[in-house]
Structure 1
Amino acid sequence: MNNYPFGSQAPKSFPAYPKTEFDLESGTAIKRTRKPKNSPFHPLRMIKSFGNRFHHFFKLHPLMGLFLALCFVLALAMILSLYGTQYGVQSGGYVKSDMGFDDYPFSKLQNLVMVAGHSIYTSSSCGKIEKEDSWFLESYQKNPGQAATFVTHIHEGIEIVARDDSALLLFSGGETRRDAGPRSEAQSYWAVADSKGWFGKEESVKWRALTEEHARDSFENLLFSVCRFRELTGTYPQNITFVMENRVGALEKLASDQGEKLTDVM
């Protein structure tokens, strides 16, 4: 038995399994640097994971999950309502709604005169406004003198506004005839009034004669005209006079509900 003294003459141990990778053919060690583990951000995966956890929590605690969902909806509604009070939607964009009373273009007008449209003027010129074939008439409207009635309504509305310096004239009526094209009843009435020179009242009436072009029936004629008046003046009308055919049942009910003073001219 050989005894090897401790010291420099002692045999060295041979590393049978090196810590690094070893190439058997070349007899050299292969050094490879370890790449740090990256944790890329995956928002979709995170959302899916959160959804799975919430679903699992909801199955275990249905009442608590329903309560949390309700709280989230209420908080979102409060945020949207607070945002809506600071900004109003107008003409496809957002504008601040803190307009002063003097910022409205017709803030000094207090009364509303509404002329309800009942047909669309389709003639290329305004020389035949009292002819039935110049208007797009329904079958029940094709009666002698029907076109003249429309002109009478326009004239009457202008006369009422001319006698009231604090009145705003609105021609009301939307694009109610598909075959008539993109023309509204309100624009037709305004064009007829303009072609007639506003029956001698152009200087005092034309600047405060506008249109409401969304109404489809008599009820909406009044309702939308009140909203249009509010949009132009900043307040609701103190008195309302409407010139139209005899369809006042629903309008009188609306007036009684709103406490407005209405005058009907037919």
Structure 2
Amino acid sequence: MAEAPGVLNANATMNPDQSSARHRLATALDGLTAAFGGMTAHPDEHNCECHWGSAEELAQLKVPGTELDPDLLRRTWQAPDWSDHASVLRRILPQFATALVKGSVEPLFGLEEAGRSFARGHWQQWPTAQAGAVRDFLHAWWADTLTDPAPAVPAYEVLALVTEASATLTPWLTTWAALTGHPADGHLAEAAAHWEYDLLGDQLPWDSWENEEETRTELTAWLVRNAPARLRAHGVSEELLHRIRLLGLTGDDRWEDPHWPGHRY
């Protein structure tokens, strides 16, 4: 079995949840290689040399298993105009997933961009084994992130990606609700601090393709319901606790609360 990128060394101590999640992630990465390792882009696939890359680079996508340099990989998953995005995505998936786990994927704006690359491929409509391999990876990476005290990618960024990739927020929040204590609560504190400004302005904290309002409403309600007790036990500031409380208020009740932070939008 391939070692998951970023895996702790043999002398490091992992709690049982983290060890199990790390093993699950390694298995899922192996599954992507097994499912997609021999894939290529469609023989007739093309893209603009001025805006995407050279004919020599395009030819690499039509050869299975060739490692792409990081810049070519980035241009490939970011391009929105492939004739057959699904075949291009299948071609790069093993390397793309490994780069995501390592934290070496650097989108121009947010990691939700990478999630939209998954969505453009309509992976949920692929044959059962292929769709299952993608689903297993997304869930395994999310579980590994929540159980890792220092993941390569912050949990709030991984959540944005998997939500955009799957067009649903619910299963990812369900997993987070089930994982309590350290380190999941630490990731929740970091995420809440990152999200509160946007959510208090009734905005989703990442750029979403669709269902933005429904996703924001679900995330807000989940935080109001699940976060306060966990954040208090984690030792966050009273200021952050008040901001989470304010998410449960609307209109003048929110803006005129004595603990309103004075955000301007």
Q: Tell me if both proteins adopt one fold, taking TM over 0.5 as the criterion.
A: no
Structure with higher helix content:
2
TM-score of the pair, normalised by structure 1: 0.25
Greater per-residue strand proportion: 1
Q: Which has the higher Rg, Structure 1 or Structure 2?
A: 1
**TM-score, scaled relative to structure 2:** 0.25
